[in-house]
Structure 1
Amino acid sequence: MHTILVVDDDPTVAEVVTGYLERAGFAVDHAADGLQALRLAAGRRPDLVVLDLMLPGMDGLEVCRRLRADVTAASVPVIMLTARGDEDERILGLEIGADDYVTKPFSPRELVLRVESVLRRGGAARARRGGPVLAAGGVELDPAARRALKDGRELSLTLREFDLLAHLMRHRGEAIGRERLMQEVWGWEFGDLSTVTVHVRRLRGKIEDDPARPRLIHTVWGVGYRFDVPEED
């Protein structure tokens, strides 16, 4: 049984979300603030965190930032709950490391579907274990161990970042549109394409020597992105 950590200071929202998740077969822990969330995440590592952006004291962005800085929790998927008009904060949440977001007001059933989708993608990635190690441009990806190295140094990648990089490296030299990446990596038939853009930017920040002048993940204008290695490498 997957364990979901719900972090929301609104008792009504927390109760409704918890009820829907439990009826869907999940075990649920609840935290009403950021510090409690970090303690629960450290003590009983959840399989996924549903994290409200607006929390008393420490906000959801800081909670997500600290989760990503913790080696034991860095790969735990995070779905962020945001207000509909907070586009800048949604983008910032993705840049910090959130895997997905749901805007308020939201349907609890939609949230459950998003949770199932993120966990399913993680399960599909684990099911692909045993595939060949991917290596190019100093980047080495081991799908079996879910490990990524750059010039021998281990990288801390989120679930989405790892899957996105693996997909681009498996299709080396091929220009792939953002819609296709969203479908094949995210498993979404529709969604905000800026999600892909933000994750590509985060990946560049981790694998490129100079993210402002990327040499591995190239932008193909009007199409999408291509992973390739310069000939001199």
Structure 2
Amino acid sequence: MFTVLIADDEADHRELLAFALRRFGYQVVTAGDAGSAFDALAGGGIDAALIDVRMPGASGIDLCRRIRSDPTLESLPIMVVSADVHRERITAALHAGADDYLTKPFVRDELVARLGELLRRPGTGSCRSAAAARVALAAARQAVPPAPPTRHSAARHGTGVTPGAA
């Protein structure tokens, strides 16, 4: 089951989107502004984000840029869902890193179909999760200090230490 973040300053819009997604089996996390949305994303466990353009403080476009500049989130599928239909705004969102742009009002089935497609794209969904797991494993390996050499491993690697020489 996928978890989707909904970032929209309008509570009614968040609830409408959440209702639609839950009916199709998605888990939902909501945020009312870009800062709260980024904090939720940084906590992990979110597979995609639906972001409104106009929010207090940083805009949804700013949030897209911030997500794309974060190495742990850069491949997160992002769909902007906004009532703003101006071509310049749509282009700005796509240039900021949004994968898709859906205008309000939307048809629920179209929302779910387009979100499902984003989650199936290479580099997202389960593929993205596997990549994130590899990054986490590499970071964990770097964080753990190497084990001290033993007499057996030193002799095997030719470091000049021989058994009984300690």
Is the structural similarity TM-score above 0.5? Answer: yes
Give the equivalent residue in structure 1 for 2:97: 97
Instruction: Report the residue type matching 2:93 in the other structure.
Output: G
The answer to whether residue 4 in structure 2 is matched with residue 4 in structure 1 is yes
Aligned pairs, number: 130
Q: When the two structures are superposed, what TM-score results if normalisation uses the length of structure 2?
A: 0.71
Q: After TM superposition, list the pairs within 5 Å mapping 1:16-55 onto structure 2.
A: 16-55=16-55
Matches of 1:108 and 1:87, distance apart in 2:
23
Instruction: Report the residue type matching 2:96 in the other structure.
Output: I
Query: With CA pairs under 8 Å and 6+ residues apart, which has the higher RCO, 1 or 2?
Result: 2
Structure 1 pair 81–124 and aligned structure 2 pair: CA distance change class (3 A):
closer
Structure number, greater radius of gyration: 2
Matches of 1:60 and 1:98, distance apart in 2:
10
Task: Please give the per-residue CA displacement for 1:5-59, whole angstroms capped at 9, x wherever unaligned.
Answer: 0001111111111011111111110001010001000012411000000111111
Matches of 1:39 and 1:125, distance apart in 2:
20
Q: Which has the higher strand share?
A: 1
Q: Which has the higher helix share?
A: 2
Structure 1 pair 36–93 and aligned structure 2 pair: CA distance change class (3 A):
same
Unaligned regions of 5+ residues in structure 2, if any? 133-166
8 A Cα contact 2:34 2:59, kept in partner: yes
8 A Cα contact 2:47 2:125, kept in partner: no
- 1:79 aligns to what SS in structure 2? strand
Matches of 2:61 and 2:131, distance apart in 1:
29
- 1:71 aligns to what SS in structure 2? coil
Matches of 2:28 and 2:96, distance apart in 1:
24
Structure 1 pair 145–55 and aligned structure 2 pair: CA distance change class (3 A):
closer
Matches of 1:55 and 1:39, distance apart in 2:
15
Runs of 4+ in 1 over 6 A off after TM superposition: 123-127
8 A Cα contact 1:82 1:90, kept in partner: no
Give the equivalent residue in structure 1 for 2:61: 61
- 1:106 aligns to what SS in structure 2? coil
Instruction: Report the residue type matching 1:88 in the other structure.
Output: E
Give the equivalent residue in structure 2 for 1:225: none
8 A Cα contact 1:84 1:105, kept in partner: no
Give the equivalent residue in structure 2 for 1:195: none
Percent of residue pairs identical:
38
Give the RMSD, CA atoms, in angstroms: 2.3
Instruction: Report the residue type matching 1:61 in the other structure.
Output: I
8 A Cα contact 2:119 2:125, kept in partner: no
